[in-house]
Amino acid sequence: MKILVIGTGYVGLVTATGLAELGHQVTAVDIDFKKINKLKKGIMPFFEPALKPLVIRNIQKQRLFFNINLKNFLDKSQFIFICVGTPPKRDGSADLKYIKQVVRVIGQNIKESKIIINKSTVPIGTGLIIKKIIKKYFPGEINVVSCPEFLREGRAVSDFFHPDRIVIGSDNQKAIELVANLFKKIKTEKLKTTLESAELIKYAANAFLATKISFINEIANLCEKVKADVQIVATGMGLDKRIGPSFLKAGIGYGGSCFPKDIRALKQIAGGNGYHFRLLKAVIEVNYFQRLVILKKIKLIYPRLKNKIVCVLGLAFKDLTDDVRESAAIEIIKKLIKQGAKIQAFDPQAMINAKKVLNYRIKYCQNAYEACKNAQFLIIATEWPQFKKLNWQKIKHLMKNDIILDGRNLLDKQKIEKLGFKYIGVGR
């Protein structure tokens, strides 16, 4: 099938590449000329494991193309995927301006019936808005399908080809079946439903996962009061099949481009429809205050942080990505800087993006050992697996004091303490 993907951000590029790998002929368009030129050469705009070789392979097989001219490919494509951003407004609601811009161009330039598939995370009712806008310019039949993405940064390629489910929503059954056929090589549950239900599923799923994270963080804070270990508690909870072990890892809170934005948006959607979503309000508050927990622990050790050298390992909001959006690490660093601390930081992938946010207010180090040199204490802010494998005996000699604040409960507490460190985790 000939497919057009609009937007080469995280969702768009992974979707376009995945569809090409399934055997479709895919053109991905974007208004960013420099990005498109780089993509044609196989240069990635962000770090995502396993994506680059797939992009290069499908370019070479002439199944994946990149262009900046949207209008030229609208009538050459049977299916049009919308994968543009829906950034939050000040009140937390999703801003649909980019979707509306794209949809107007589609309506003004198509000459025959199309199936438009929305991959962007949007409020309930957006599918009907898309159809209404197109109808202003195009009198023929138009079918809008909601096919939300469930891609985890750092694991997106695997998630595309081995998803838990594919959700397809529309008011036209034929359109649903045609879109389902695009993914026929992927063996998983294909949930076929209405536009509204499909649009809500993505928000509901993210909100539930965020709720699990906030819940286990609350349990972690209680564990510290009653001398329990949150890791043991979480294991015991996760063995219950009704609960499961996923997203029960205590730490300094969730971040990234999806959870914070989507949960605030769902809260606004509920409020806009006359429902006060009390639970989501609490989830958001818990996540915000969880980032302050690590700072409270620091203040107990060092009431005054002026000129204290702090090593921060990890800048991305999670491992296996270079994304620093809503990163707890970045927020903690900002608060430490305000209190006069001198930050030495290292991240395997997120240094460039961190510089865009923090500029040169901190020292960016070549490796973890450089970041640890002469530090009064060390914070693990991102759960990069390679941090586990560091030579911690060497780090002990490099640091001025031997205090580790493990914001992700990444390290083995007993082993670290045997080396002579003072170990402080979350809920341990």
Rounded percentage of the chain residues whose pLDDT exceeds 90: 96
pLDDT at 157 over 90: yes
Neighbours of 250 (CB within 10 A): 27
Same domain, 341 and 401: yes
Mean pLDDT estimate for the chain: 96
N residues, the chain:
428
Can you tell me the distance from the alpha carbon of 138 to that of 146, in angstroms, rounded to the nearest whole number? 20
CA dihedral 122, 167, 201, 30 (to 10 degrees): -20
Interval 146-172 mean pLDDT: 97
The active-site residue out of 83, 223, 258, 365 is 258
Q: What is the mean pLDDT of residues 133-157?
A: 95
Q: With bands split at pLDDT 50, 70 and 90, how would you rate the model's confidence at 64?
A: very high
Q: What's the pLDDT score for residue 62?
A: 97
Whether 164 has a pLDDT exceeding 90, the answer reads yes
Q: How confident is the model at residue 13 (pLDDT cuts 50, 70, 90)?
A: very high
Q: Which domain holds residue 137?
A: 2-193
Pairing relation of β-strands 309-313 and 363-364?
unpaired
Statement: residue 166 has pLDDT above 90: yes
Considering the domain architecture, whether residues 184 and 330 belong to the same structural domain is answered as no
Domain check: are 185 and 231 in the same one? no
Average pLDDT over residues 177-206: 97
pTM here?
0.93
Q: 193, 218, 244: which is the final residue of a domain?
A: 193
Distances (CA, A) of 327 to 181, 202, 289, 300, 378: 38, 21, 14, 24, 17
Both 173 and 274 in a single domain? no
Same domain, 334 and 385: yes
Which uninterrupted H or E stretch holds 13?
A: helix 10-21
- State the average pLDDT over residues 117-143: 94
Residues 313 and 328 sit within 8 Å (Cβ to Cβ) = no
- Report, as an integer, the average pLDDT of 352-370: 97
CA 39 to each of CA 17, 54, 81, 163, 254: distance values in angstroms, whole numbers, following the listed order: 11, 12, 18, 25, 30
Token output for 309: 């050298």
The partner residues of 67 in beta bridges, in order of sequence, read 29
| Predicted local confidence at residue 124, as pLDDT | 94
Q: Is the pLDDT of residue 257 over 90?
A: no
Q: Are residues 201 and 146 in the same domain?
A: no
Same domain as 213, residue 318: yes
Indicate whether 380 and 322 sit together in one domain: yes
Same domain, 354 and 221: yes
Alpha helices in 311-373 (DSSP H): 328-338, 351-358, 368-372
Number of domains in the chain: 2
The percentage of residues in the chain with a pLDDT greater than 70, rounded to a whole number, is 100
pLDDT exceeds 90 at position 53: yes
Q: State whether 315 and 366 are in the same domain.
A: yes
Q: How far is the C-alpha of 404 from the C-alpha of 357, rounded, in Å?
A: 25
Q: Are residues 147 and 235 in the same domain?
A: no
Please tell me the predicted confidence (pLDDT) of residue 337.
97
Q: Respond yes or no: is residue 258 known to be catalytic.
A: yes
